[in-house]
């Protein structure tokens, strides 16, 4: 399928995991893609894999200037912006009473504020194209993630932000949706947990059948970015193998 043959997209966190799978899927469906990440070599490799029309750029989404420059570079390269996929995120596990304030702030800076900053920079151009935003939340925004208070709080904030964008700009043709992955095999799932955890709580993170790769999320993102998602706005979609069913 080439559902996105006439679309230009930005994907943050594109160097690995869901971001990488999303960039590759959008490119495979015909989109031109600007791949953003803080990992220069890895994100350049992903852009190369996306094809000759793709571009890469180093971008720390917690930096307002970097976000504005990234959007400007997409416009310069593609002449338009139709799709913004906010995937960049970090995770730190800790007992909540031991969670370092610096780690709390960094998760909010990257996961939530970074999503906001990219949306803010891209919105005027997305409105011109009646484009769409797909934000990456998490099942931790919908149910408690043990040892993940900071991560869950940042992801729940993304759901609130997404709903606000949908209501504020929906009548102007913009769509804003979120995906809530869970039980997806990516590098972030290898984040160390505290040594003295309660193993029974880990079962809360398990799907009904089996964990799957990031391609499971990328396929839903591609649908939301395409005309197949034209009547979906202000929604969040769980992609978790029934973990929260």
Hey, which residues are catalytic here?
A: 151
Burial (CB < 10 A; 0-12, 13-18, 19+), residue 60, is middle
Measured CA to CA, the distance from residue 113 to residue 106 in angstroms comes to: 10
User: CA-CA distance, 135 to 148, in Å (whole number)?
Assistant: 19
Rounded distance, CA 212 to CA 158, Å?
A: 23
Q: Which residues pair with 72 in a beta bridge?
A: none
Q: Tell me which DSSP letter residue 234 carries.
A: S
| Token code pair at residue 99 | 């969670």
The tokens describing 3, both together, are 């559902």
Element of type H or E holding 33: strand 32-37
């Amino acid at each position: 399928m080439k559902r996105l043959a006439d679309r230009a997209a930005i994907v943050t966190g594109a160097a690995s995991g869901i971001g990488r799978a999303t960039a590759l899927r959008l490119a495979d469906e015909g989109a031109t893609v600007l791949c953003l990440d803080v990992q220069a070599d890895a994100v350049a490799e992903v852009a190369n894999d996306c094809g000759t029309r793709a571009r890469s750029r180093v971008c720390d989404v917690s930096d307002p200037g970097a976000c504005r420059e990234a959007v400007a570079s997409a416009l310069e390269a593609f002449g338009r912006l139709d799709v913004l996929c906010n995937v960049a995120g970090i995770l730190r596990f800790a007992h909540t009473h031991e969670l370092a304030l610096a780690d709390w702030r960094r998760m909010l800076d990257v996961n939530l504020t970074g999503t906001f900053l990219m949306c803010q920079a891209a919105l005027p151009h997305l409105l011109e194209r009646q484009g769409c935003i797909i934000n990456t939340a998490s099942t931790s925004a919908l149910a408690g993630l043990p040892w993940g208070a900071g991560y869950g709080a940042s992801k729940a904030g993304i759901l609130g932000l997404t709903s606000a964008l949908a209501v504020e700009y929906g009548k102007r043709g913009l769509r804003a949706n979120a995906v809530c992955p869970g039980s997806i095999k990516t590098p972030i799932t290898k984040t160390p947990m505290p040594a003295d955890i309660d193993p029974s709580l880990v079962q809360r993170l398990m799907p009904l059948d089996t964990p799957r790769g990031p391609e499971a999320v990328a396929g839903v993102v591609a649908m939301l970015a395409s005309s197949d998602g034209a009547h979906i706005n202000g929604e969040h979609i769980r992609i978790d193998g029934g973990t929260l069913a």
